Structure 1
Amino acid sequence: MLNITPKKPSDQQEYDRRFGSLNTLKTPSEAKKVARWLIAILILMGIVLILPWQQNIRARGEMTALTPQDRPQKIQCPIDGTIAQWNVREGQHVDSGQVLLTIAEIKDKYIDPDMILRLEEGIMAKGEAINAKRDKVRAKERQLDALEEGLIIKLKQFDNKIEQSILKVESDSIAWEASKIDLKNADRQYNANQELHQKGLISLTKLEGVRSKYQQAKSKEVGARTKFEMAINEFQNAILGKNAARNEALDKIAKTDSELSTTLSDIADSEGSLAKARNELSSMEIRAGMRVIRAPQKGVVVQALNSGIGENVKSSQALLTLVPDQPHLAAAIYIKTMDVPLIEEGRHVRLRFDGWPSIQFSGWPSVSVGTFGGKVEVVDFMNQPDGTFRVLITQDSNEKDEDWPQELRMGTGVFGWVMLEEVPIWYELWRQINGFPPSLDNPVAKKKK
């Protein structure tokens, strides 16, 4: 109560007495601010590392056309000649079939301006000669028919003559046989009367009469035999005549047939010459058309590779360059070999054209400014001389994006980003540090799946 007993010091007082110097040390306010900033930066970096990142493949190229017919083409000279007249100027729009320039001939064979007329006259003459030979063929065919009919008639005549000869031979043979019988009877009678005369039974006058009959019978037998032999000769002559007539007619037929074949051969040769002349005429007409060089399609004359009048040009020599009108433009970018397997048709692409200012965030294409959308249309199956592969990109009509500028021209430089899959930023940093290729599958989505 009187407070005369000394007080025991408290723990705080004891701490202050023993470590009082620590109270003079205080944390500066700047250090606290730095610590807070570091913590905020770390938190922000952690948030950024989990943000999505669009993987892409970058490449440079130029504007071209999707189809070969829309690409700039060299108008070549189809024939050897000299420039006679220019009908266009550089930068001029031309329609399909419009005359670009005219070529004059320099070869001796084609210099004659009436060459086509000469060839036409030659063709007409050859045609008339062929018609005359065809008339000759028809005459020979009629002659052959007449010879064959004449042979048939003549053979029938000889057949009739042979039949008559056979009948005459038979008749004369019978007459000869009858005369031989009469001779035999007359000989018997003569011998009998001769014996009777020797015996004195008949007179000499009667014997002479019998002898006269015998001589007459003998004469008739000789005459009948002669007629028979003559009939046989006539029969043989008729057969020989038939054969001779047949051989003569066949010889005439063969000769006429040979002349007919010769005429047909001449017609074939003439038709071959006529076809050759017609071919030459067609070639001349086509060549005459080649002297006037026309535009194959609508376009713009970009550059004349030859100038002046009278300059000699050779076939297949380029004369000027024609850019087709309103081509279907496409961007051609060149991808490294290691990136080609990652690109497939239909992939979305962001493009930056030379001359159009833009800001591109390759990882976040949605916040890019001044770039244009496209899609992969063609990936070449063969590499370029420098080892890269060409990829053709066309405007993506399905994307709600700004259309490509109408002012784009062939050869304009372009830079493209072929968009791949979305991955977290930490994965992209890890991939870049380790040198791994871009991923075809989203690892986060794959992990969730």
Structure 2
Amino acid sequence: MIDISKNKIGEKATFSGYKSLGMSFPKDEARKRIRILVWFLVGGFLFLFLPWTQNIRSNGFVTALRPDQRPQTVHSIIAGRIENWYVSEGDYVQKGDTVLMVSEIKDDYFDPQLLERTQLQVNAKNLSALSYSEKVKSLEVQIQALKENNVLRKEQAENRLRMAELQVTSDSIRFEQAKVNFKIGEDQLRRAKNLYEEGLRSLTDFEQRELRFQEVQASMIAAENDLLKSQNARIAAMIELNAIDNDFRDRMAKSTADMYEAMSARYDAEATATKLENQYTNYEVRTGFRYILAPQEGYITRAIQVGIGETIKEGAEIISILPANAQLAVEMYVSPVDFPLMRIGNRVRFIFDGWPAIVFSGWPQITNGTFGGVVHAIDNFSGPDGKYRILVVEDPQDKPWPDALRIGSGADGIALLNDVPLWYELWRQLNGFPPDYYTARQKSENRK
């Protein structure tokens, strides 16, 4: 009650006989306040020595650990026009399933018999190359025949030259014999003339001797003529031998030139045939690109190109696919001041979007609703925002992550570090030091 009266009831009545009324009056109130304050101070001081788990908190999102299991877009390799869709958004597709079909929009590929006609060109060029190959073989046989014929002709010409030389030798011997006969006949004629003049021989004997001398002279002239003929025959044989070599060289040069020309034509035909075969293969492969196939197993999430008859460019994005059965991981980012403290194998606790949790960041033992992870990879370079990317996978020693967790979900990560007293953590926070600052520096010095 409000104490506004000067009359005190305690002076007129005693309450010692009323136990419950005596208990309602305050006694020694200041001492109780001091005792409560002391207990609060003692409790707060002891609270400062409680263990505290240092941590680095960072936001991230769920992704796939393997690059080939992350969401991807399917591109069109060729430019075309959409003709037919075979899937819709949300469908589950296997690898190799047809997603849509496009038709050609370039006039180079409008011909419906493009492959058949290209194949005919390839066959024609192959036959042309084959004919040139046969021509080369024929010329090689011809060159070989020329070589063999040249050997025989040279042997024949050499034999003729040898015969001509022997004939020259024989005719020269006969000519020498004729000259000797001529000299003897001349001497005999002179003696016969002297004898006739002296009257020792008759005129008839002298005339007969003169006739024989004329015959000897004619024989000498005939022998000389035969010698000149045989010498001319030898010269002709030598000329023929040289002509054989010249003719052989001319024929060989012509045949070799024809052979190399045929070989060049064959190589040109083979090169053209190879180019056409490559073109045919490109046409054949391009025909297969008209059907856009699913690159892997997954779900169709979004159709980027829509409608029938819409034209798309080369490399244009068509649809996006979310791979099924992907190994999930969390992609989180830490600041440069906390990056040196992260190690492969560090424990991380996650709060996923949609799963409620009661979190005591300094006491993970009493935290409820979080999921465990282990640092799997750390980037060695910072991103555009100056932070470092860290990939965290599911902790096999902890409870599994939710089955309904999907790629792209948000995740609040708490990387657990060393256990320190609470006063040390408060002192660190007040000074703005990173977690485990001095311990990390001491470890670095020990490693050095």
Q: Please indicate, yes or no, whether the TM-score normalized by the shorter chain is above 0.5.
A: yes
Task: Tell me the residue number matched to 2:433.
Answer: 436
Q: CA separation in 2, counterparts of 1:197 and 1:359?
A: 173
Task: Tell me the residue number matched to 1:411.
Answer: 408
SS of 2:53's equivalent?
Answer: strand
Deviations 1:63-108 (A, max 9, x none): 1111110110010110111111111110000001111111100000
Asked if 2 retains the 8 angstrom alpha-carbon contact of 1:165 and 1:231, the reply is: yes
Task: Tell me the residue number matched to 1:182.
Answer: 181
Asked if 2 retains the 8 angstrom alpha-carbon contact of 1:82 and 1:103, the reply is: yes
Query: Counterparts of 1:9-408 in structure 2 under 5 Å?
Result: 28-397=27-396, 399=397, 401-408=398-405
Deviations 1:316-368 (A, max 9, x none): 11000001111111111111121111111111001000100001111001110
Asked if 2 retains the 8 angstrom alpha-carbon contact of 1:420 and 1:440, the reply is: no
Q: CA separation in 2, counterparts of 1:260 and 1:100?
A: 56
Q: CA separation in 1, counterparts of 2:57 and 2:39?
A: 34
Q: CA separation in 1, counterparts of 2:115 and 2:49?
A: 83
Task: Tell me the residue number matched to 2:15.
Answer: none
RMSD: 1.5
1:442, CA displacement in angstroms? 6.2
Asked if 2 retains the 8 angstrom alpha-carbon contact of 1:169 and 1:231, the reply is: yes
1:47, CA displacement in angstroms? 1.8
1:57, CA displacement in angstroms? 0.6
Asked if 2 retains the 8 angstrom alpha-carbon contact of 1:421 and 1:441, the reply is: no
Deviations 1:250-270 (A, max 9, x none): 211211111111000000000
Deviations 1:233-253 (A, max 9, x none): 100100101111221122112
Q: CA separation in 1, counterparts of 2:129 and 2:209?
A: 86
Task: Tell me the residue number matched to 1:424.
Answer: 421
Deviations 1:209-242 (A, max 9, x none): 1111111111001100110111111001001011
Instruction: State the identity %.
Output: 37
Q: CA separation in 2, counterparts of 1:440 and 1:208?
A: 156
Q: CA separation in 2, counterparts of 1:33 and 1:271?
A: 111
Q: CA separation in 1, counterparts of 2:258 and 2:170?
A: 48
Asked if 2 retains the 8 angstrom alpha-carbon contact of 1:422 and 1:442, the reply is: no
Q: CA separation in 2, counterparts of 1:46 and 1:124?
A: 96
Asked if 2 retains the 8 angstrom alpha-carbon contact of 1:305 and 1:319, the reply is: yes
Task: Tell me the residue number matched to 2:3.
Answer: none
Q: CA separation in 2, counterparts of 1:106 and 1:417?
A: 54
Question: TM-score normalised to the size of structure 2?
Answer: 0.91
Q: CA separation in 2, counterparts of 1:57 and 1:299?
A: 35
1:440, CA displacement in angstroms? 5.5
Q: CA separation in 2, counterparts of 1:280 and 1:186?
A: 98
SS of 2:52's equivalent?
Answer: strand
Q: CA separation in 2, counterparts of 1:246 and 1:421?
A: 102
Q: CA separation in 1, counterparts of 2:354 and 2:155?
A: 107
SS of 1:337's equivalent?
Answer: coil
Task: Tell me the residue number matched to 2:8.
Answer: none
1:30, CA displacement in angstroms? 2.3
SS of 2:381's equivalent?
Answer: coil
Asked if 2 retains the 8 angstrom alpha-carbon contact of 1:54 and 1:421, the reply is: yes
Task: Tell me the residue number matched to 2:13.
Answer: none
Q: CA separation in 2, counterparts of 1:435 and 1:139?
A: 94
1:134, CA displacement in angstroms? 1.2
SS of 2:402's equivalent?
Answer: coil
1:40, CA displacement in angstroms? 1.7
Q: CA separation in 2, counterparts of 1:383 and 1:290?
A: 39
SS of 2:380's equivalent?
Answer: coil
Task: Tell me the residue number matched to 1:17.
Answer: none
Asked if 2 retains the 8 angstrom alpha-carbon contact of 1:161 and 1:238, the reply is: yes
Q: CA separation in 1, counterparts of 2:105 and 2:439?
A: 70
SS of 1:90's equivalent?
Answer: coil
Q: CA separation in 2, counterparts of 1:30 and 1:392?
A: 60
Q: CA separation in 2, counterparts of 1:97 and 1:356?
A: 36
SS of 2:368's equivalent?
Answer: coil
Q: CA separation in 1, counterparts of 2:338 and 2:132?
A: 76
Task: Tell me the residue number matched to 2:5.
Answer: none
Asked if 2 retains the 8 angstrom alpha-carbon contact of 1:378 and 1:391, the reply is: yes
Q: CA separation in 2, counterparts of 1:28 and 1:218?
A: 191
Aligned residue pairs, count: 417
Q: CA separation in 1, counterparts of 2:109 and 2:27?
A: 105
Amino acid in structure 1 at the alignment position of 2:231: I
Q: CA separation in 1, counterparts of 2:439 and 2:312?
A: 61
